[in-house]
Amino acid sequence: MRAHSSALTKGFTLAAGLTLVLAACSSGGGNSTHKSTSAGLSSCSTQGKANTCNAAATKSGGTFTYTLEKNIQQWNVQDVNGNTFENGEALEVVLPQVFIPRPDFSVGLNTDLVTSATQTSTSPQTIVYKINPKASWNDGTPITADDFIYYWRTNNGKDCPPPPASDASQTKGCLPQSTAGYDRIKSLTPSDGGKTVTMVMSKPYSDWKSLFGGGYPMYPAHVVEKLSGATAGDAAHMTAAQMTQGWQYFLKTPPSKYATAGAYKMQDWTDNDHATFVPDPKWTGAKKATLQRLIFKVISDATQEPIALRNNEVQGIYPQPEVDLVNQVKAIPNVSYTIGSGLTWEHFDLNLHNPVIGKYTALRQAMFTAISIKDIMAKTVAQFDPTVKQLGNHNYVPGQAGYQDVVNASGQGSGDLAKAKQYLTDAKFTGVGSALKAPDGKAVGPFNCRYTTGNQIRQSECQILQSALGNLGIKITIKPIGAADLGTVLAGHQYDIIVFAWVASPFPSSGAQQNWSTGGGGNYGGYSNKKVDSLIAQAVGETAAAKAAALLNQADSIMVNDAYVLPLYQKPTFLAVQTRFVNMRNNSTNVGPPYNTAEWGLKK
């Protein structure tokens, strides 16, 4: 998942926000469409309409400026610390991937990269990728099996091992945001001059369509081979040191400095300000860019986005909606918008590395039960999206096949103070309601509640939590996080309680493995349950979607009892664009609206 400037991992991304990969066969949730003074954007979440809604022919010319809510601090989106929503948005413009998440929660084959990706056997599971004969990097180097092999070996956790604990700078290995699936590949065999790749799995992998894409695009292997002195076209024999050199290069280097493969190329990057993309004349894909320039502008203060849109400084915004912001956009002439409910979901996380929080299950259950999600929604997102409902699952959202409410029956999120206090009393806590003490007599708290600075909704959520837990005798201090520091805070366990959002992709099993399994790259709070690990591992290896969902929901019921993460609600997404531009869509997955920038343009 990715964290949304809220955080990014496989399948979750941080939404500050992260990103979660959800089931490819799932159906979409509804988008509610609103209009300003011109025709509104229509919902793109209906199955089968992902690439047809809001579609129109374009003409050449024009500059479209789109906002990023966070600065991009490093450029390797495959790295656990580079797995942010904004990083993914910028890189998908210029780097290729096999399957691309769509607004209807399906995934579409990128035929500019591969003409087919077919499972040819289930025992052993075998996938054959036919690379488009025309596919090449913009320095003229063909895209081949070598690029797939480099991707696999840097992400499988074995060929380029992660940095040792003694390497505080994390520069002595590869640190992928997820090894899910890549650790199950037995072999990648090239044929047809490198234009066919045959992948054989050591164990079945349900979310195989998430591999080599799904929001995490490919980097050019030949650039690393030249940089590190490795043999050209032989990523299979690249050393760990050579792969580490490439990993660090892509981490530090914007894609304006190396070969890419997209309808646009990055012309320049100005740190903490903007990226400029221009049509790439070397692009071999079917759709040619029609915009003269595409600019991604960093505006970390969401309150400034409507102002920039009104002043024509930007032509499209994708902020986390708040009531004042939505009302401002409504008043801007010749702008249309849509509010969507997709794969982004808000949640409170507890840090189990905290010795008190980690030790007492009853304490965590009481904390989550004392919180009223209904009250949270009423004072925040329900003010502009009255359809929002409490989320009852950690792996699926309503509208997806497999969704079951496994949370509400527990009473977590109910605001039932009496039940919360009973948990504590039964577990021999004292000072309940005044100054809470653990059974060993030690004070419980104070704890901090952390949120990304400038986000009024999350500040309110921490304030509501502060009041609720105060009723249990737990003191909460509210401590904001710099907009660019969420990943650092999560990875460094620098919180007691934190609120952010996962931006999910359409692959739930691999997302669950990454975020809930012991040691998973997105499991920042240190959760560990052997039964959950076993059920998720079974789901990951189950090729039948319904069986995988049943296993994940079994695991989820255990997780609810363990009270590690409290889902709050599907986070509304909000896309607003000037009506003279077309083919922009609210893609409420880990890739966001820029999944199809090759199609963006002035209306003909």
For residue 3, pLDDT beyond 60: no
Residues whose CB falls within 8 Å of the CB of residue 292, separated by 6 or more in sequence, listed in order: 60, 61, 62, 63, 278, 279
For residue 321, pLDDT beyond 90: no
pLDDT for the residue numbered 28: 31
For residue 12, pLDDT beyond 60: no
- How far apart CA 32 and CA 496 sit, in angstroms, is 35
Going by their DSSP bridges, the two strands 447-452 and 476-481 should be labelled as parallel
pLDDT for the residue numbered 320: 82
DSSP 271-294: TTTEEEEEE-TT--SSSPP--SEE
Q: How far apart are the first and last CA of the chain?
A: 37
For residue 564, pLDDT beyond 70: yes
Instruction: Find the Cα–Cα–Cα–Cα dihedral 225, 146, 132, 207, rounded to 10°.
Output: -120
**Bigger pLDDT: 316 vs 7:** 316
Q: How far from the centroid of its chain's Cα atoms is residue 302's Cα?
A: 19
pLDDT for the residue numbered 21: 26
Instruction: Summarize the confidence of residues 64-68 as an average pLDDT.
Output: 98
Supply 310's token pair. 């009104």
Amino acid at 497: I
- How far apart CA 317 and CA 310 sit, in angstroms, is 11
Instruction: Summarize the confidence of residues 27-42 as an average pLDDT.
Output: 42
pLDDT for the residue numbered 572: 84
**Contact (Cβ atoms closer than 8 angstroms) between residue 33 and residue 23:** no
Confidence of residue 17 (pLDDT cuts 50, 70, 90): very low
Supply 171's token pair. 């520069």
For residue 594, pLDDT beyond 50: yes
Instruction: Summarize the confidence of residues 311-335 as an average pLDDT.
Output: 93
**Contact (Cβ atoms closer than 8 angstroms) between residue 99 and residue 209:** yes
Beta strands in 22-109 (DSSP E): 31-34, 58-59, 63-68, 99-101, 107-109
Instruction: Summarize the confidence of residues 25-39 as an average pLDDT.
Output: 34
Amino acid at 578: Q
**Bigger pLDDT: 130 vs 81:** 130
For residue 177, pLDDT beyond 60: yes
- How far apart CA 259 and CA 224 sit, in angstroms, is 11
For residue 545, pLDDT beyond 90: no
Place of tokens 């083919």: 583
Confidence of residue 36 (pLDDT cuts 50, 70, 90): very low
**Bigger pLDDT: 392 vs 2:** 392
Q: Do you find a cis peptide bond into 124, omega within 30 degrees of 0?
A: yes
- How far apart CA 380 and CA 127 sit, in angstroms, is 46
**Contact (Cβ atoms closer than 8 angstroms) between residue 468 and residue 551:** no
- How far apart CA 434 and CA 448 sit, in angstroms, is 18
**Contact (Cβ atoms closer than 8 angstroms) between residue 505 and residue 210:** yes
**Contact (Cβ atoms closer than 8 angstroms) between residue 117 and residue 99:** yes
Convert 141-172 to b/e letters by CB count within 10 Å (16 or more is b): bbbbbbbbbbbbbbbbbebbebeeeeeeebeb
**Bigger pLDDT: 195 vs 73:** 195
DSSP classification of residue 123: T
**Bigger pLDDT: 588 vs 90:** 90
State phi, psi for 323 to the nearest 5 degrees. -60, -45
Q: Which of 9-18, 153-162, 472-481 bottoms out in mean pLDDT, i.e. has the lowest? A: 9-18
CB burial of residue 48 (10 Å; 0-12, 13-18, 19+): exposed
For residue 88, pLDDT beyond 90: yes
Q: Which of 11-15, 24-28, 314-318, 421-425 bottoms out in mean pLDDT, i.e. has the lowest? A: 24-28
pLDDT for the residue numbered 322: 83
**Contact (Cβ atoms closer than 8 angstroms) between residue 578 and residue 54:** no
- How far apart CA 222 and CA 149 sit, in angstroms, is 11
Average pLDDT score over the chain: 90
pLDDT for the residue numbered 228: 97
pLDDT for the residue numbered 506: 82
pLDDT for the residue numbered 543: 79
Confidence of residue 4 (pLDDT cuts 50, 70, 90): very low
- How far apart CA 429 and CA 435 sit, in angstroms, is 10
Max Cα distance, the chain (Å): 73
pLDDT for the residue numbered 43: 67
| pLDDT tens track for 232-253 | 999 999 999 999 999 999 999 9
**Element (H or E) spanning 488, and its range?**
helix 486-491
Partnered with residue 191 across adjacent β-strands are: 196
HSE, CB side, 13 Å, CA atoms: give it for residue 181.
30
Cα angle, residue 588 at apex, residues 585 and 591 outer, rounded to 5° = 85
Name which of 67, 82, 93, 72 is nearest 296 in CA terms.
Answer: 67
For residue 25, pLDDT beyond 90: no
pLDDT for the residue numbered 11: 41
Q: Is 233 left (phi over 0), alpha (psi -120 to 50) or beta?
A: left
Instruction: Summarize the confidence of residues 87-110 as an average pLDDT.
Output: 94
Q: Which of 8-22, 52-66, 505-519, 537-551 bottoms out in mean pLDDT, i.e. has the lowest? A: 8-22
For residue 48, pLDDT beyond 90: no
Confidence of residue 40 (pLDDT cuts 50, 70, 90): low
| pLDDT tens track for 470-486 | 999 999 999 999 877 88
> Based on C-alpha coordinates, what's the Rg of the chain?
23
